[in-house]
Structure 1
Amino acid sequence: MSGVSDSEKEAVLSATQAASKLWKDSFNSGNAAGCAAQYESTALMEAKPFGTFKGTEEIQGFWQKLIDDGFSEVEYVEATKLEVVSADSVVLSSNWKMNKAKGVITKELWVLQGDGTAKLREDHFEAQG
């Protein structure tokens, strides 16, 4: 990618991978607040067929309901792709599976924050059974 140095790519990829792991670890341990903490305060999450959720409070509520309904063991499988789109952002896409569902992540937009961590600004995914 032009205009983005190798060190910038490495920093934003490393931050994204660490934040994504934190999100998955939080979900798998039943910690909806930990999941929501990986989103920017004004993030947008489109979860098909469930709806659109804005901000960390609505997003946390969605994950809490899923956890309360017995969903766990999320993992990203097959076709996971990380694309550096700028010096401070990465788009992740992947297939995913859980104990009770599977689907596709069409776009997770991770953005580097001032403290060097990455947070989700946009999260678009679909459950497929």
Structure 2
Amino acid sequence: MTSSVLTACQAGIKAWQDAFNRQDAAGCTACYEEGCTMLAKPFGEFTGREQIQAFWQQIIDQGFKDVEYTQMEWSAEGEDGYLLTSSWTMNKAYGVVHKEHWQLQSDGTARLVYDEFEVLGER
């Protein structure tokens, strides 16, 4: 595993965070591979960019913003990806990322191929 794969994965989560914090659901969704599955506890499972974008748009429309990640841990997954676990906070909620699988794409960027997170409480 090369450090360039980890760098691409870290750039991927930064791109997602930046898009969310500027209230850009389409920008968030661009960080997901087309057939990605997202398990958002307790909301449900969403598959594909259309469903994922609708979820993020609804969250943004409800006033959620300012996501920050802490306790980020990266572990290699195969030759072309990394798994991320972390805690997160927003202006109105907090929780954990159980498993984000970031995978290097043919264009050199990393995208999510699986996303599992949980809201643990409101702020």
* TM-score bracket for this pair, using the shorter chain length: over 0.9
Equivalent of 2:15, from 22, 38, 58?
22
Q: What is aligned with 2:55? A: 62
Distance 1:71 1:85 in 2: 31
Unaligned runs of 5+ in 2: none
Deviation at 1:85, TM superposition (A): 1.7
Following TM superposition, the consecutive aligned residue runs of length 4 or more in structure 1 with deviations greater than 6 angstroms are: none
1:84 and 2:48 aligned: no
SS in 2 for 1:108: strand
2:93 — aligned with what?
Answer: 101
Superposition CA RMSD, Å = 0.6
Question: Once the 2 structures are TM-superposed, how far is the Cα of residue 37 of structure 1 from its aligned partner?
Answer: 0.2
What is the CA distance between 1:19 and its match in structure 2? Answer: 0.9
Q: CA deviation at 1:57?
A: 0.6
- Aligned-partner SS, 2:100: strand
Question: What CA distance in whole angstroms lies between the structure 1 residues aligned with 2:32 and 2:5?
Answer: 16
CA distance in 2, matches of 1:111, 1:30: 24
Q: Distance in 2 between matches of 1:31 and 1:102?
A: 20
Per-residue CA deviations over 1:36-95 (Å, capped at 9, x if unaligned) read: 000000000000000000000100000000000000000101x21011122201000000
1:47 maps to which residue?
40
Cα distance in 1 for residues equivalent to 2:7 and 2:77: 14
Structure 1 alignment gaps of length 5 or more: none
The count of corresponding residues between Structure 1 and Structure 2 is 121
TM-score, normalised with respect to structure 2: 0.96
CA distance in 2, matches of 1:86, 1:11: 14
What's the % identity of the aligned pairs? 51
Q: Is residue 35 of structure 1 aligned with residue 32 of structure 2?
A: no
Partners of 2:48 and 2:15 lie apart in 1 by 19
